[in-house]
Structure 1
Amino acid sequence: MAALSGRRGQAARNDVTILDAARSVLTADPTAAVSAVAAAAGVGISALYRRYPSKEALLAQLCLDGLNEYLVIAREAQTATDPWEAFATFVRGIVAADVHGLTVKLAGRFMPSDEHRRLAAESGVRAEEILAAAHAAGVVRDDLDPQDLAMIWEQLTAIRLGDADRTAALRRRYVEIHLQGLRASPAPLPESPPTPAELGARWVPRSDTTSAGS
């Protein structure tokens, strides 16, 4: 496809720049104002609002991007013939892309659309399929639940130390520690995993966040 030129090309470039800046600013601080995103993107606030009429619309787009990225990683992992490699590739990929940090940190700050719900449902199915195959092969703990993975990713995406390269390196270190602990083991895990309802409750918009930072 030929590159866009003129105003359309500039608009497309602005959109990429705005979304990259929004991802950086809003995953670090979801309460940040839209003006902070515009400043980081190097565009005027009016240019941002022409594309995203509200902070909620911007957050919704970021989350859609995160869900689509999650699915790309999951589908690619499922092409592996070895169940452990499929599982480990999936876990590593989600952490490396910081997808979970993108989606979870924005949860509850906008009203999900039908597309969000559709992609989230497929994401859940893919994760369950990957884990089920690993369980069937006996390569992961038999008491590991799909909801546990969400909590593990949340722990790993909380690692932010130094610059981006150092943060990525530390996440790679700790994801390997987690993966070693997730292999089949005779010792049962304590307590129960979070329920889908507990995780889903975070997506209900909160009155103290939906109107902030606009």
Structure 2
Amino acid sequence: MPKTVETAAQRALPGRKAQAARNDELILAAAREVFLAEPKAPISAVAERAGVGISALYRRYPGKEDLLRTLCYDGLRRYNAEAEAALENSDGWAALVDFLRRVVDADVHSLTVHLAGTFTPDESILPDIQRSAELNDEFLRRARESGRLRPEVTAADFGLILEACAAISLPDPDRTAQLRRRVLALLVDGLSATGELPGPPPVPGEFAQRWQRRDL
């Protein structure tokens, strides 16, 4: 009997895990929609949008900050994944352009623009932040070696470009994507143009400070 019960439980477990995974995908997709539209929205709005019970949501995310943290951390990991894929191109300039296009299409920086300062980051994200910095530096190095990049451009300028594109948002998602790519093309031309850029580039800490928790 114990063996039979154990086997039944083992067979049932993958199904429960699959359902939990599906619920998690629904919750995160709903959270992205809800919080990008209104960062102050209650967590109950996410459950309603996802079509799951509030108890199911709380079992996975004890509070709103946990959900916001996961959402943004997933965004950073997507950023790193797109960067690693773009680095497969041996052409330094083409790799940089492909990287920027991939991240703009993935809409990663909408999370930064809307959600920075809405939760307290923890140390679990530090390895991904370090990896992101390494990838940015590698794009910068290769693009410089290609001879196409302005010499005064820094890796922090990539963040400015990506956030500028993410700031474009229209009710029509297809039109939003078109305009973001258009603006990116204009900005990419600026990366390779001659002439002096006005003002200094972003300095360490200027971007990081907005992730300090603020009251909503």
Measure, in 2, the Cα distance between the counterparts of 1:5 and 1:122: 32
SS in 1 for 2:115: coil
Quote the residue 2:49 is aligned against.
Answer: 40
1:72 positional shift = 0.5
Which residues in structure 2 correspond to 1:4-19 (within 5 Å)?
A: 5-19=14-28
Q: Deviations over 1:111-170 (max 9, x none)?
A: 212221221121012111101210122111111111111111111101111221221121
1:22 equivalent to 2:11? Answer no
TM-score (norm 1): 0.90
Measure, in 1, the Cα distance between the counterparts of 2:203 and 2:97: 23
Measure, in 1, the Cα distance between the counterparts of 2:199 and 2:112: 26
Select the structure with the greater relative contact order (CA < 8 A; seq sep ≥ 6): 1
Quote the residue 2:116 is aligned against.
Answer: 107
Is the 8 Å Cα contact of residues 113 and 166 (structure 2) preserved in structure 1? Answer: no
Worse overlay, 161-170 or 53-62:
161-170
Which residues in structure 2 correspond to 1:5-154 (within 5 Å)?
A: 5-154=14-163
SS in 2 for 1:196: coil
SS in 2 for 1:91: helix
Return the letter of the residue paired with 2:92. Answer: P
Is the 8 Å Cα contact of residues 154 and 201 (structure 2) preserved in structure 1? Answer: yes
Measure, in 2, the Cα distance between the counterparts of 1:191 and 1:202: 21
TM-score (norm 2): 0.89
Which residues in structure 2 correspond to 1:120-199 (within 5 Å)?
A: 120-183=129-192, 185-199=193-207
1:5 positional shift = 5.0
Rg comparison, structure with higher value:
2
The gaps in structure 2 that reach 5 residues or longer are 1-12
Measure, in 2, the Cα distance between the counterparts of 1:49 and 1:157: 30
Measure, in 2, the Cα distance between the counterparts of 1:34 and 1:189: 43
Q: Deviations over 1:20-45 (max 9, x none)?
A: 11112112222211111111111122
Measure, in 1, the Cα distance between the counterparts of 2:98 and 2:83: 9
Measure, in 2, the Cα distance between the counterparts of 1:83 and 1:195: 24
Is the 8 Å Cα contact of residues 86 and 95 (structure 2) preserved in structure 1? Answer: yes
Return the letter of the residue paired with 2:125. Answer: H
Is the 8 Å Cα contact of residues 67 and 103 (structure 1) preserved in structure 2? Answer: no
Measure, in 1, the Cα distance between the counterparts of 2:134 and 2:15: 42
Return the letter of the residue paired with 2:141. Answer: A
Please provide the CA RMSD for this pair. 1.7
Q: Percent identity?
A: 48
Measure, in 2, the Cα distance between the counterparts of 1:46 and 1:137: 54
Q: Deviations over 1:147-194 (max 9, x none)?
A: 1111111111011112212211211111111111211x3311010112
Return the letter of the residue paired with 1:182. Answer: L
Quote the residue 2:5 is aligned against.
Answer: none
SS in 2 for 1:119: helix
Quote the residue 1:212 is aligned against.
Answer: none
Q: Deviations over 1:188-208 (max 9, x none)?
A: 1010112121111011112x1
Between structures 1 and 2, the one with greater helix share:
2
Return the letter of the residue paired with 1:133. Answer: R
